[in-house]
Each structure stands twice: as structure tokens, then as C-alpha cells.
Amino acid sequence: MEFDKEVDATGLKCPLPILRCKKGLSDMEAEQTLKIMATDPGAVKDFEAFCKQTGHELLQQDDQEGVYTFYIKKHVSE
């Protein structure tokens, strides 16, 4: 999948992957896609909840040998 920015949050525990994601999205344009990788198993539910709360779109998530990769499209800012 194509993406505009990549953030590596591997080795970090909750809430740091979400905080890194928020920081990564903050300097992106609406409709751009962020790729973020995490190793915390709780990240799966955390990113689903984060996207529901913020309106960002979780396009895809993968699990490759304990590394969870999420593709998040930034919502249109008002």
C-alpha cells in the first residue's frame, strides 16, 4: 500500500504508539496516509479506537511476526 509518511513505534508500549501516531499525523495534509508500525499487541484495539474517536480512516492493518502495521488516512480538517 502506498503511504506518505512512516512512523516506527516498535518496542514501545501503550500509550506511546498512539502518541507517535498523533504527532506523525499532525504535520500531514488531509487525505494523506500514515504507515505506523508497532509491536505492542494492544495497539490493534488502540488504533481502532483512536480512528473511531478522531475520524481518521484505518485503511488496513497487518500482523507480520509480531509487528503490527497500520495504514491510517488523515481526515479532512475543518
Residues labelled as active-site residues: 14
Please tell me whether residue 37 adopts helix, strand or coil conformation: strand
What is d(CA 4, CA 10) in angstroms, rounded to the nearest whole number? 19
Spell 35-67 as b/e; 16+ CB within 10 A means b: bbbbbbeebeebbeebbeeeebeeeeeeeeeee
